[in-house]
Structure 1
Amino acid sequence: MSPSRTRVLDLLTRSAEPLGMAELTAATGLHANTLRGHLEALVETGLVDRRRATPIGRGRPAWLYTAADESHTSEYAALASTLASGLATSAPDPAAAGARAGEGWGRELARQRLSRMNGPLDPRSEALAALEEFGFAPRDTPVDVVELTRCPLLDTARKHPEVVCAVHLGLVRGMVSEHGGDPSGTTLEPFATDDSCRLHLPRTLSS
């Protein structure tokens, strides 16, 4: 990495709290556009996690950045691999079992988020925000397609795509449904391109 990008990562690693653009700009002295480019690269390579700040008033909440917890990620990946292997070998219908598990997970996450917010939230925007937070690096397009350019469980997904990809689709559908949307048109094409999976997420998700 360049010295500037290394400095940004070092700041995030040493910080006890997530940092926003204002704090990072002041600490590094970098122009906001330059800093944003470094952060995007660090997020894409999995070295930095990004999530939305708690909304205050109107307008879209700012991004907050933290250094990725590698030990937590590896433990999660190991657990997910074990669970996926178990479902793949023991469940009568592994894909259906994975989808049910993912949908329950998505509903619970949505309920937790709804409890912290005032008023209804947009189902599609919330699903995209969750995918961003979980490390899928979603890239939205104008044609109701979201390209998932990273997978936090790539090795396990290649071994057991029928389970892992079903869980991920169920996660999105569960969140959409809990936020009052209709998930029936939401589908997932695993490994649709050399560097992404393709999530079909309609812009109109009203029930």
Structure 2
Amino acid sequence: MGTTARPRAGDAAPGDSSASRAALLTTLRAASQPLTVQELAAALGLHQNSVRFHLARLVRHGLVTERQASPTGPGRPSLVYTAVDSTTATRPSGFQLLASALSEHIVRAFPEPSELALEAGREQGRTMVSRDPGAPPAGAEEGKQLLTALMRDQGFDPEWDADDRRLWLRTCPFRPVSDEQPDIVCRLHLGLMRGALDAAGAPLEVTSLDRAPAPHPCLAVVQPQR
């Protein structure tokens, strides 16, 4: 790893969140490659949980990008962070603002919003799969290829684990919204995958969409249909 600047977050008063976030951003901008939470915590003398807390807000405000490193062995791949070029950083996009507004409305207006989101995603997934009515059902391998293409098109940067039963969604274009309404956004995408497999007739089932607390990525567990 290249040499990075080491601003001292400890020079700020305890609890000074703005100073800590500024130090994180300065360190990321000076780094020659993306950094992990552990590397940032060591560089700044901060607790790793504090680093995660501040990174989540930097990501939400479009100042830092988050992605998963390529898997190097068993277990969850590391998350790495990069500062966004200050000349290209923008406010949340229109689609993110719209998604946020709709998610908040669903939560307020409906008694079981997460189930509504799941069914809405399922219906959308079915409509997104174009298939000849006379075609035979898709096989397991075709079903996996379908999920990969579907989630890549949606901007999730999917990658299968070696066991072919875990699909890592390494980026989330709805991250700022899902941080606020995970029961809506993540259930919708779970339904999307299930609906696509239903429409293709693939003998696979997405049993869960595991989203750990921010800023961790999503993990879809895919198993043979029972």
- TM-score under structure 2 normalisation? 0.52
| Unaligned residue ranges in structure 2 (runs of 5+) | 1-64, 67-88
The structure with the larger Rg is 2
- Residue 191 in structure 1 maps to residue 212 in structure 2: yes
Stretches of structure 1 lacking an aligned partner (at least 5 in a row): 1-44, 47-69
Paired residues in the alignment total: 133
Mapped pair 1:158 → 2:179: yes
Q: Distance in 2 between matches of 1:200 and 1:86?
A: 29
The one-letter code sitting in structure 2 at the alignment partner of 1:130 is L
**What amino acid does structure 1 have at the position aligned with 2:219?**
R
Shift of 1:182: 4.6
Q: Which amino acid aligns with 1:139?
A: E
Query: 1:161-204 deviations in whole A, cap 9, x for unaligned?
Result: 010100010000000110002554521111378541111022x4
Equivalent pair of 2:179/2:214 in contact (CA under 8 Å) = no
Which whole-Å deviations, capped at 9, do the CAs of 1:117-163 have from their partners, x for residues lacking one?
Answer: x8765222111111011110112102311111111110110100010
Structure 1 CA distance, aligned partners of 2:123 and 2:204? 14
2:125 counterpart residue number: 106
Percent identity over paired residues: 25
* C-alpha RMSD over aligned residues: 2.8
Q: How does 1:101-140 map to 2 (within 5 A)?
A: 101-111=120-130, 114=131, 121=138, 122-140=142-160
Measured in 2, the distance between the counterparts of 1:165 and 1:198 equals: 11
CA contact (8 A) 1:176 1:183 kept: yes
TM-score (norm 1): 0.56
Once the 2 structures are TM-superposed, how far is the Cα of residue 107 of structure 1 from its aligned partner?
0.4
Contact 1:106 1:172 in 2 (8 A): yes
Q: 1:84 to 1:93 in 2, by over 3 A?
A: same
Equivalence for 2:196:
175
Distance 1:171 1:178, change over 3 A: same
